[in-house]
Amino acid sequence: MIAQRKSEPFKKLMQVEDPMTYRNLSGYIDRLKIPKYIVNASDDDFFIPDASRQYFPDLPGDNTLRVIPNSAHDVRAFVEANLIPYIKRRQTGNTAPRLKAQERRLDATSTQLHLTLSEMPIRTTQWTAHNPKARDFRYNCGVRYTAAQLPASMDVQTTLRAPKVGWSAEFFEAEYADGVVETTMVKVLPDTYPNQAPPADEAFCRTLPGTPGQ
């Protein structure tokens, strides 16, 4: 499949597999607007942690993002516990909470983040990971996020700073009284990309040959 990713058959496959293509298909656009609870892994084996910025802001409908901290690609163990409170809320006719994040770049290494929440959370957590060697946050490469509890508030302002060496990844998590959990998208700083593949080991931390920069 990797070898075929630029072929015409692969493009046709993506018209079915990639929901973002539905925006251009009149028969599917209404379906794309349904409420969505999207569960991602912070340490995914295949997708970079901030990949959601390529689609989430442009996704139509009422959308809630849930980034699972310290999880590789397989998030099945977390899906049920996260989906049940969300579905219960929907079934009772209540709307999903709204966590809005506004960014303002201060300089080349700093970003101011302003979070506004539609409901008072019972817990707010800032998750942070650091890789001094590469823009690589895969679980199998030993990357782990650490949690910092923040005061529960509907208005949070903070400044994210790039590390002096390597890259950092951060996101914010809000948990509500009924068990619904939502997060911001992951922010990686500095917002730059390396010109070489990340280091690999002889076990599970590897990169497919020929894929960097493509």
What's residue 125's pLDDT?
98
Residues 126 and 90 grouped into a single domain: yes
Contacts 24+ apart (CB under 8 A), 94-97: 95/62, 96/35, 96/37, 96/62, 96/64, 96/180, 96/182, 97/64, 97/121, 97/174, 97/176, 97/180, 97/182
Q: Are 128 and 81 in contact (CB under 8 A)?
A: no
Do 170 and 97 lie in a common domain?
Answer: yes
Q: Is residue 205 part of a domain?
A: no
| Total number of domains constituting the chain | 2
Using one digit for the tens of pLDDT, what is the confidence trace for 79-105?
Answer: 999 999 999 999 999 999 999 999 999
**Same domain? 109 vs 15:** no
User: What is the total residue count of the chain?
Assistant: 214
User: Does 134 fall in a domain?
Assistant: yes
Which pLDDT belongs to residue 177? 96
Low pLDDT (below 70) residues in the chain = 202-203, 208-214
10 lies in which domain range? 1-32
Q: Do 49 and 65 reside in the same domain of the chain? A: yes
**Do residues 55 and 148 share a domain?**
yes
What is the reported pLDDT for 213? 47
> Quick one: pLDDT at residue 214?
46
Q: What is the pLDDT of residue 25?
A: 78
